[in-house]
Chain A
Amino acid sequence: DAGITQSPRHKVTETGTPVTLRCHQTENHRYMYWYRQDPGHGLRLIHYSYGVKDTDKGEVSDGYSVSRSKTEDFLLTLESATSSQTSVYFCAISGGWTEAFFGQGTRLTVV
């Protein structure tokens, strides 16, 4: 299995609070991604990174920011959590434009 770890695995937070999810890899892969999974929508790309300090927006980036200060870590921040951001978040890593390897997911509930 690819060395990819998400933390925390579960989190409950209140509306309006900032939340940061962490993705850590030990594979030295260049590309890292954050997706959210919601019923009926599949996996939707939030942000991705193609190198240290190089990031770009995905299809559902509003309300989210990311940072990648070193190869192994990719942080996703919900600047002010809303109930619509209740979801399961997956981090993925890839060495190129081919297959990606996913973490176990973080279940976030915003109350």
Chain B
Amino acid sequence: DQQVKQNSPSLSVQEGRISILNCDYTNSMFDYFLWYKKYPAEGPTFLISISSIKDKNEDGRFTVFLNKSAKHLSLHIVPSQPGDSAVYFCAASARDNNDMRFGAGTRLTVKP
């Protein structure tokens, strides 16, 4: 029972363009959402997060959008850079239940 889904296993974009990574969730109890970035042979690193009381959070080139009615969130990276090439994981957690659930990941390739 995968409660967090990333349906695109891979995404390729040109340097300078926008990258949009998508994530869907099924558990309405989730109230905190996160994106992690992972390079090969390293642990995931936290990138950006959003609380369910907001619909947008921005940090430099990274913006996360949350649509609670659709149970959907997205990560926008603009402009994309070759160093952004990595696997991106979407994650969700609930305040009263601290098990954090992850999606399957999307491999982003930014071409120079």
Contact = CB atoms under 8 A, between A and B. Distances in A.
A98 B35 CA distance: 11
B105 A100 contact: no
B31 to A, nearest CB: 8
A103 B38 CA distance: 12
B25 interface: no
B51 to A, nearest CB: 9
A74 interface: no
Interface string A53-87: 00010110000000000000000000000000000
Given A59-B1, A97-B93, A97-B94, A45 B99 contact: yes
Interface residues of A, number: 27
Contacts of B99: 33, 45, 48, 56, 58
A102 B38 CA distance: 10
Given A98-B32, A102-B44, A104-B42, A50 B100 contact: no
B98 interface: yes
A40 B104 contact: yes
Contact of A44 (B34, B93, B94, B102): B102
Contacts of B49: 98-99
A105 B94 CA distance: 25
Query: Interface of chain A, helix or strand or loop or mixed?
Result: strand
Contacts of A98: 32, 34, 49, 93
B98 A97 contact: yes
A43 B32 contact: no
B3 to A, nearest CB: 9
21 contacts: A31-B98, A33-B100, A35-B102, A41-B104, A42-B6, A42-B105, A45-B101, A45-B102, A48-B99, A50-B98, A56-B99, A59-B1, A59-B101, A90-B43, A97-B93, A97-B94, A99-B46, A102-B36, A102-B45, A103-B43, A104-B42
